[in-house]
Amino acid sequence: MVNDLREFLDELEKRGKLLVVKNADWDLEIGTINELVAEKQGPGLIFDEIKGYPKGFRVATNLLHHRIGQKLAFNFSEEMTDLACVEDFKNKINRFSPIHPIEVSNGPVKENILTGDSIDIYKFPTPKWHTHDGGRYIGTGVITITRDPDEGWVNFGTYRVMIQDKTTLAFYASPGKHATIMREKYWAKGKPCPVAMCFGQDPLLFGVSTIGLPWGMSEYDFAGFVKGKGVEVIMDETTGLPIPASAEIVACGFSPPPEEDSRPEGPFGEWQGYYASGTRNEPVVHIKTLYHRNDPILFGQPPIKPPVNTWFPIPLHTASFLWNRLEKSGMMDIRGVYVHGPGNRIIAVISLKQRYLGHAKQVATLAGAFLQGGACTGRYIITVDEDIDPSNLDEVLWAVCTRCDPEQYIDIVPGFLTSPLDPMLSPEKRAKKDYTTAKVFINACKPYHWKHEFPLVNRASDELRQKVMEKFSEVFKGIK
Ligand SMILES: Cc1cc2nc3c(=O)[nH]c(=O)nc-3n(C[C@H](O)[C@H](O)[C@H](O)COP(=O)(O)O)c2cc1C
């Protein structure tokens, strides 16, 4: 398993999936090249010799959208199907037992340590990614580390970060996110919140940082468990926060209560494909210590208008957890769970073998409640029978078109949490900070009470197919 960003880049290069681009400008050129290459499902990109910056101060983008990259980061074999990866990860979550990070005294991240007047975040070639962005976003592939002041456990999550000045960063964490809750606890005690922001690291840490782990479960412990060994960390003395020893760039500091300091954040080209949340004042971090490796690589993961996906293609972060939670809550005969749509967050599909009247509705209702917490997350919950592969959207649509009478089997339930990033929040709701959305529950299973009379499916049986394929093997030789 790879241990840091550089080992990951080496592996991509070996597989012919990495391209070095020289002489691009941080001001929109890097972002636009990234967008164009991502649209064509092109290779990962390393930008070097960036305009106005020394050779070696690099930006890496477009690294994760290939299945190869996700399988490398999460240690899956290359031949596994998407649904098999989701199921495997779901089973892994079930076996979870924390593997704590290992504190070490030294690591590559300490190659350069800047404090006081020598701190200058503009030292790194942070792109302005999209035309209407309000500034330069250093935190797009970021992990932001905080410690709960009451319970002591360490969280990290991905929340975007915009540069304000050479020692100040603004960060946007939505309502309900763990860093949002933790920072508010410090502020309620009249204290600034210690924060460490890491701008380039082992892709597994980034992957884990975007998974909504339950409150109290440290992402470090979970990443250690997935790796099978503790993540090496060094302790930042000023904040008392553990930072990955092999990270590329880490800014450590304090976030004061917003009444003391908060700055305009946004607009930013967001993952739903819009600049929906505009500009608001958001909390800041004042940097006290800036660490970086020699020849640092800033990892960029800027959103691009869907359907282009530059982020992990297999929905481990949503589908595996949803599947796990449904099973844990006693739901029987769940055959598969997948999540489609932008960010693999919006359209949840659950395939099940219906065992009793209301089974599909019960499962869907729980799924709607479990998929909480981000803009539009789990807006559509679709239940399908066990003959439908939930990872195959065409099959799912066939079921929706042929097994669901909209009048009877679609429910619209208002009042779920969304976030300011939701493009469908009306100006009135936004003004009232009413960040709620309805969810749509589509039951595309054959109606339970007459499923035995439901028309037969027009498909040769598996046995007949097998027999015919063996008999006419010549016909099928070249056909996959
Ligand atoms: C690429 C990417 C960018 C993200 N940016 C943000 C963001 O700016 N703000 C936010 O609140 N959540 C963002 N998220 C979602 C959170 O990272 C995710 O909900 C995570 O679970 C939060 O961690 P927490 O559960 O520990 O709060 C992003 C997710 C991804 C994949």
Per-residue pLDDT of the chain (480 residues; tens, 9 = 90+): 899 999 999 999 999 999 999 999 999 999 999 999 999 999 999 999 999 999 999 999 999 999 999 999 999 999 999 999 999 999 999 999 999 999 999 999 999 999 999 999 999 999 999 999 999 999 999 999 999 999 999 999 999 999 999 999 999 999 889 999 999 999 999 999 999 999 999 999 999 999 989 999 999 999 999 999 999 999 999 999 999 999 999 999 999 999 999 999 999 999 999 999 999 999 999 999 999 999 999 999 999 999 998 889 999 999 999 999 999 999 999 999 999 999 899 999 999 999 999 999 999 999 999 987 677 888 999 999 999 999 999 999 999 999 999 999 999 999 999 988 999 999 999 999 999 999 999 999 999 999 999 999 999 999 999 999 999 999 999 887
**Where are the alpha helices (H) located in 404-447, listed in sequence order?**
406-409, 427-431
Domain with CATH 2.30.110.10 in the chain: 5-299
Q: Determine contact, residues 199/298, Cβ cutoff 8 Å.
A: yes
Compute how many other C-beta atoms are within 10 angstroms of the C-beta atom of residue 114.
Answer: 16
Q: Which residues of 325-358 are buried (b: 16+ CB within 10 A; e: fewer)?
A: bbeeeebeebbbbbbbbbbbbbbbbbbbebeeee
C-beta of 159 in contact with ligand 1 (< 6 A): yes
Closest residue CA from atom 3 of ligand 1 = 158
Quickly count: other Cβ atoms within 10 Å of residue 36's Cβ: 11
Structure tokens at 154: 């360490």
Q: What angle do CA 203, 372, 253 make, to 5 degrees?
A: 50
Q: Which residues contact 115 (CB under 8 A, 6 or more apart)?
A: 288, 289, 290
| This model's pTM is above 0.85 | yes
Q: Residues of CATH 3.40.1670.10 domain(s) within the chain?
A: 316-453
- Residue 178 CA, closest ligand 1 atom number: 27
CB-based contacts of 465, cutoff 8 Å, min separation 6: none
Supply 107's token pair: 């690591």
Residue that has been written with the tokens 């093997």 in this structure: 473
**Rounded Cα gap, residues 316 and 80, in angstroms:** 13
Please name the fold of domain 316-453. UbiD C-terminal domain-like (3.40.1670)
The two structure tokens encoding residue 356: 């009793």
Residue 102 phi/psi, 5-degree rounding, is -105, 125
CA pair distance 143, 301, nearest whole angstrom: 11
Which is it for strands 347-352 and 380-385: parallel, antiparallel or unpaired?
parallel
For the Cβ of 160 lying below 6 angstroms from any atom of ligand 1, the answer is yes
Residues in the chain: 480
Rounded distance between C-alpha atoms, residue 137 and residue 200, angstroms:
13
**Could you tell me if 362 and 329 are in contact, meaning their C-beta atoms sit under 8 angstroms apart?**
no
Distance 129 CA to ligand 1 centre (A): 18
In angstroms, what is the span from residue 373 Cα to ligand 1's centroid? 10
Q: How far, in Å, from the CA of 292 to the mean position of ligand 1?
A: 23
Q: What is the CA radius of gyration of the chain?
A: 24
From the alpha carbon of 176, which atom of ligand 1 is closest? 27
Alpha-carbon separation of residue 278 from 65, 133, 266, 323 (angstroms): 27, 9, 6, 34
Q: What pLDDT, on a 0 to 100 scale, did the predictor assign at position 244?
A: 98
Helices (H), 299-432: 321-328, 359-370, 393-403, 406-409, 427-431
How many Å lie between the centroid of ligand 1 and the Cα of residue 62?
A: 18
Residue 337's pLDDT is 98
Instruction: Output the pLDDT for position 373.
Output: 65
Cα–Cα separations (whole angstroms), residue 417 to 349, 363, 379: 20, 19, 10
Q: Is the CB of 374 under 6 A from ligand 1?
A: yes
The burial of 428, by beta-carbon neighbours within 10 Å (0-12 exposed, 13-18 middle, 19 or more buried), is given as: exposed
- What superfamily in CATH does domain 5-299 come from? Electron Transport, Fmn-binding Protein; Chain A (2.30.110.10)
- Does ligand 1 come within 6 angstroms of the Cβ of 312? no
173 lines ligand 1 (CB under 6 A): yes
47 by Cβ neighbours in 10 Å (0-12 / 13-18 / 19+) ranks as: buried
CB contact at 8 A, 383 and 444: yes
Tokens 């919140």 sit at which residue?
193
Cα 17 to middle of ligand 1, angstroms: 26
Q: Relative to the CA of 374, which ligand 1 atom is closest? A: 19
- For residue 474 the two structure tokens come to 């010549």
Nearest to 83 by CA among 342, 378, 306, 386: 386
CA of 143 to the centre of ligand 1 (A): 9
- Measure 140 CA to ligand 1 centroid, in angstroms: 10
Q: Tell me what the pLDDT averaged over the chain comes to.
A: 96
Residue nearest ligand 1's atom 31 by CA? 210
* Largest interatomic CA distance in the chain: 78
Ligand 1 centroid, distance to 317 Cα (angstroms): 11
Residues 410-426 as b/e (b if ≥16 CB within 10 A, e otherwise) read: bbeeeebbbbbbbeebe
Cα(373)–Cα(100) distance, integer angstroms: 27
Ligand 1, atom 18, lies closest to the CA of 210
